[in-house]
Amino acid sequence: MKIVVLDGYAANPGDLSWSEVEAMGVCVVYDRTSPAELMERAKDAEVLLTNKTVLDAAAIHALPALRYIGVLATGYNIVDIDAARQRGIVVTNIPAYSTDSVAQMVFAHLLNISLRVEHHAEAVRQGRWAACKDFCFWDTPLVELSGKIMGIVGLGHTGMRTARIAQAFGMKVEAWTSKSSLQLPPDIRKAESLEQLFAQADVLSLHCPLTKDTQGLVNARRLSLMKPTAILVNTSRGPVVDEQALADALNAGRIYAAGLDVLSSEPPRADNPLLRARNCFITPHIAWASTEARQRLMRIAVDNLHAWLDGKPVNNVAR
């Protein structure tokens, strides 16, 4: 069996091992694969593992040996599922491997914005505290999270973990979710509408998938409902946010700050308005990428492949 890893570098830049995958057949690992390289590299493969390399209908129908696609991520919109289903190809994903890491990043952004630890540490290195007439020094607002309302859009694994961490900080949690009020824990309030959640939240954290209904969910109208002290955090998908509308809201002071780990195009275009927006803090899509999360991803990818070989596929999104 020939196995081709199309873009293995993101999940494993060299600190992990492909040995368990290599033990299952003839395995070729590429760090990255461009669209122009795809067909030549994949032409004889029975198994393709991909993170962000797109496998559209044309590619899937042009690969007669292909029997299995393993997506090395939770989202699988890079694969044409209908085309795979027509060919009887199993497509698996990696669910819930990065829950703890992504929830941790939410609060890395939130604590950075609320206390600006790195900024003040740098000010100390620059001698600004040493030159201060007082025993303490700060030059940004210092915000306490306790008692604030954490609004969560999407209450799946990561949204729920974020909610529990927020509660540990003493925050009140409200959520916009497809779950009914009866399905929610008593200490999480279901918002009556997205508009209500935007208006009431002191912190709004996005944990929804990217669909036609959620694309542009954070738009100019909803941003106008938010408090001028509100903070937006996005660790879900970039296109959930209208980036120009968010940049305009930040620059005008209509909301206080944003912490983003995702953008609409990655890497971002040089003219992305959020790169220069006021109080906008962007990390380069790393919330998922802790060593522990990537170890889980690799473990589940191997387990998925073993299950398929045993004739009992799991995490099959092409059923």
Q: Mean pLDDT throughout 6-15?
A: 97
Confidence bin at 8 (pLDDT 50/70/90): very high
Catalytic residue chosen out of the listed positions 41, 67, 189, 285: 285
**Is the domain of 170 the same as that of 117?**
yes
Q: How far apart are CA 110 and CA 253, in angstroms?
A: 18
Domain span at 221: 99-282
Say if residue 93 is in the same domain as residue 164. Answer: no
How many other CB atoms are there within 10 angstroms of residue 42's CB atom?
Answer: 24
Catalytic residue (choose from 266, 269, 292, 306) = 266
Average pLDDT over residues 307-318: 97
Which band of pLDDT confidence, cut at 50, 70 and 90, is reported for residue 300? very high
Both 135 and 270 in one domain: the answer is yes
Domain-embedded: residue 305: yes
**Mean pLDDT of the region 223-251:** 98
- What is the three-state SS of 287-308? CCCCHHHHHHHHHHHHHHHHHH
Q: Which two tokens stand for residue 34?
A: 């461009």
* Residue 87 annotated among the catalytic residues of the structure: no
Residue 51: what pLDDT?
97
- Predicted pLDDT at 19: 97
Structural domain includes residue 315: no
- Which pLDDT score is estimated for 102? 98
Over residues 28-57, mean pLDDT: 98
Neighbour-count burial of 240, counting CB atoms closer than 10 A to its CB (0-12 exposed, 13-18 middle, 19+ buried)? buried
pLDDT value, residue 146: 98
Predicted pLDDT at 54: 98
Helix and strand numbers, DSSP H then E, in the chain:
11, 12
User: 189 and 67 in one domain?
Assistant: no
* Helix 99-115 × helix 117-125 angle, to 10°: 50
pLDDT digits (tens, 9 = 90+) for 34-48: 999 999 999 999 999
Together in a domain, 81 and 109: no
Is there a single domain that holds both residue 129 and residue 55?
A: no
Quick one: 226 and 253 in the same domain? yes
Give the confidence band of 236 by pLDDT, cuts at 50, 70, 90: very high
Q: Which helix (H) or strand (E) holds 49?
A: strand 47-50
Q: What is the pLDDT of residue 100?
A: 98
**Per the domain annotation, does 319 fall within a domain?**
no
- Using a pLDDT cut of 70, give the percent of the chain over it: 100
150: CATH: 3.40.50.720
The answer on 278 and 195 residing in a single domain is yes
Residue with tokens 């954490």: 150
The amino acid at 254: R
Number of domains in the chain: 2
Is residue 134 assigned to a domain? Answer: yes
- Looking at 161, 237, 254, 296, which residue is catalytic? 237
Q: Tell me whether residue 207 is one of the annotated catalytic residues.
A: no
What's residue 288's pLDDT?
A: 97
- Domain presence at residue 233: yes
Q: Residue 241's beta-bridge partner residues?
A: 218
User: Is 85 annotated in the active site?
Assistant: no
Shared-domain flag, residues 175 and 301? no
